[in-house]
Structure 1
C-alpha cells in the first residue's frame, strides 16, 4: 500500500522536481510520502510556507490501513467498514502528487531527483522485503495458511525491482512484501513527475482545477466503460489506474501555489470525509436505498480521491494561513515520520503472529486488546527502522543538498 515530514526546524531532506530540473522536497504517496513539511519553491525571493500538519495526517492514514489489516487477525464488529482502511493508499497517492508539486523547486536536475527518490524509499523497502520473505514464503507452504506462498524467484525479482505492480495477477501484485505494491506505483509516479511538472509549472488556479476535474472525469468514464463493456475495454495496470489520485494531488497543489485560499474549516473537511466514507459503506451494503449507488461503487476510487483531496487541501490551506493544528503536535509529527516504516512492517509483524498463534478469536470488541498490542510492537519496530536504517541511509545516499 505509500514518509513524512522531517524535523520541524531542520531543512528538508527530500526534494521534488522543479522546473529546469526537479525540485527539492520529500516524496509523498503510498506511505512513501515524504516530508510534507518541506519548504517549497521560491516565491518572489522567498519560499512557500511549510505544511507540516500533513505529516501528522499521514499517520492517521497509515493507522487506517493498519486497522483494515488487523481484521485478518482480530476481527471487530465493524469489520465491513474497516475494509475501507485500504483507502488510506488513495490518500497517500493524492498526498504524493500534492507534496511533490508544492515543494517543487527549479534547479535540481532530473537525475538528482531520481537519486534522492531512490535514497528515500529503496533501502528500507529492500530490508523489509527480505524480512517479509521469511513470513510470506516457504519452499513447502503449510496447509490452511493461504498468505504463505511457495517461493518464486520471478515474483521476488519483480518485487525487488518494483515492477510487480504492473501485473494484475494477485500472486505477483502482492508478491514479496504485500504492502510493497504501492511502492511499485509510486516508482511510476516518480518516473514521470519531472516531466509533468515541467509541463504544468506555469499553470494557475484555473489550470490546476481543470487538471483535477479532467482526471476524475476520465477515471470515472473508464470505470463505467469497463463495467459496461468488459470484453472491449482492457484492464489497466495499477500504476496507471492510480495516476488519477496522483495527478489530482498535483492539480490541487497548483491551485494552492497560485493563491487559491478558500476558507474551509478543517473540522468541516473531516466531517465531509468521514461522511463520504460512511456513505460509500452504506451504499455498498444497501444499494437499492441510495440513488446512484452502483455508479458510486464503480467509481469508488475517484470518490475517495475527491474526499481525501478535499481534506488535504483544507489542512494545507489552514497551515498556510497560520492556524492552529493538533496535527503539527510533536507526537503526531514523529508518528508521521515513522509512518513509512510502519506501513512496510506492520503486516509482516501481524501475519507472523497469526502464523504462530492463529486468529485471535471470534468477532468482538475484546479483540481491541490485540489491536493495541500489535500497534505498540509495530510502532516500536518502525521507530527502530527509521532511526537506524531509513533516515541514516537516506542522508548517506542522497548526496549533497
Structure 2
C-alpha cells in the first residue's frame, strides 16, 4: 500500500540533497556526548565542571532536534511513497543492526568483567524489551534504563517511524496556507503536555530525576507519545519548505528566540514554572527553526561547512556513534576507577580520548554493519524514485535565489 502524493505536488526532476543536515547530526551528537560525559561519567574533581553537563539544556535540546530532524528528513525524502512494507523494512534496516550488535556486545562485556556502574539492569524482561526497542513504553525504571539505557530515545524513534505513514496522509492534505497553523497547534501541544502532566500526575520524588516523580519524568521526557509532537514539527516544517512558505528569517532572530526558551527552562529549574517544563521538549519550539534554515542553504546552492565531506561522513555515522558512546563511557569509567576524580588536564585528556575512541568505533560500526545491511535489506525492489516539488521562493533585491542544486534523493 502506497501513501498518495500530496495534492499540492506535481512531478519534478527529483529531490534535492540536503548534506548540511547530515553534517548537522554530528553537532547534535557532540552535544549529547558532552552532556553524558560531564553529568553522568563525572570524571572531574571540580563539580562545577561536571555540572556543566546539565546546567544548560544543550543535551536535551540536541535530543529534541534529533526527533525533529527525523520528521523533516523522512518527509523530505519521501521514502514512504515506495509502499509501507518497503518503508518499514528500510527503517528497520537502519535502526536494528547496529543496535543489536551493541546490545549483544554490552551483555558479553558484563558477562566477562562483571557489573558496570553505568550499565542498567540486564534481567531477562528488561533486556528483551531493550532488544526490541519497546522499553520507553513501559513505566518501570528497570525497563527504561535497561542494558545501555540511552537507547530509550531509539525506542521513541522506531515508534515515530512506524507511525509516520498514519500521519502523513492528513498532513499532506493540509493546504499550504494553513501549514503554519498546523505548526502552531503542535507548538501548543508541546507547551500543554508538561502542564497537564504536572497537574494530574504525582508520586514520590525519583532520585534519578529530582524533583520529578518517576511517573512525571517518564510521561514528560521518555514516553514516545509525549515526544511525538516534536517529530511532527519536523514533518510540518518539511512541508512548509516544500511549498515555499518558509519566510526569510535571519539566524540571529532564531538564536534570540532560543535564548528566551532557555530562560523559560531556567525558570522551571528555579521553580517559577512547573518542574516538568525543564524536562520537556519546550526547547524544540525554537531550535526546530534552525533545520529549515540549514536546509535552505543547500537548496539555494550556498556553501555550508556542514556540507563538507568530512562533516557529512561524521554526521552519517552519528547514529552508530550514539549507540557506542554510552558503553564506551562505562568502560572508561571502570578503567580509570569507578569513583576516581581527576584535575582539569587529566580529566580533559580522559574525555577527549573517550571521544576519539567513540567516534572511531562509531565509524567502524556504520561502515561495516549499518551501511552494508541497509543496502541489502533496505534497497527498494524497484528503481522508482519518488519526487516532490519544492516551490521556488521569490528572489529579493538583496539576495536573489540561485538555481537549485542537482536533484538527488537524500537518505534518512
* Equivalent in the alignment of 1:193: 164
Matched residues in 2 for 1:266 and 1:43: separation? 31
Question: How high is the TM-score relative to the length of structure 1?
Answer: 0.80
Q: CA deviation at 1:303?
A: 2.0
The reply on whether 1:389 has 2:374 as its aligned counterpart is no
Describe the SS at the equivalent of 1:361: coil
Q: CA deviation at 1:377?
A: 0.6
Unaligned runs of 5+ in 2: 204-214, 384-412
Q: CA deviation at 1:205?
A: 3.4
Contact 2:95/2:158 (CA < 8 Å) preserved in 1? no
Q: Which of 228, 243, 259 in structure 1 is aligned with 2:228?
A: 243
Q: Which of 282, 305, 323 in structure 1 is aligned with 2:284?
A: 305
Aligned length: 358
Matched residues in 2 for 1:149 and 1:177: separation? 6
* Equivalent in the alignment of 2:336: 357
Q: CA deviation at 1:166?
A: 0.5
Question: How high is the TM-score relative to the length of structure 2?
Answer: 0.78
Contact 1:216/1:302 (CA < 8 Å) preserved in 2? no
* Equivalent in the alignment of 1:126: 100
RMSD: 3.0
Summarize the alignment of residues 226-375 of structure 1 with structure 2, pairs less than 5 Å apart: 226-230=197-201, 236=219, 238-266=223-251, 269-270=254-255, 272-273=257-258, 275-276=259-260, 278-279=262-263, 282-283=266-267, 286-287=270-271, 293-295=272-274, 298=277, 301-358=280-337, 359=339, 361-362=341-342, 364=344, 366-375=346-355
The reply on whether 1:175 has 2:146 as its aligned counterpart is yes
Deviations 1:269-316 (A, max 9, x none): 45654x3575356435655xxxxx415862653321112211112211
* More divergent stretch after superposition (389-398 vs 213-222): 213-222
Q: CA deviation at 1:184?
A: 1.1
Q: CA deviation at 1:156?
A: 1.2
* Equivalent in the alignment of 1:162: 133
Bigger Rg, which one: 2
Deviations 1:72-130 (A, max 9, x none): 14246344342232332211101111111112167411111011111111111110111
- The verdict on how the C-alpha distance between 1:202 and 1:347 changes in structure 2, with shifts beyond 3 A counting, is same
Q: Which of 211, 215, 227 in structure 1 is aligned with 2:182?
A: 211
Deviations 1:214-245 (A, max 9, x none): 12212322311221233699974611111011
* More divergent stretch after superposition (232-241 vs 96-105): 232-241
* Equivalent in the alignment of 2:358: 378
Describe the SS at the equivalent of 1:348: helix
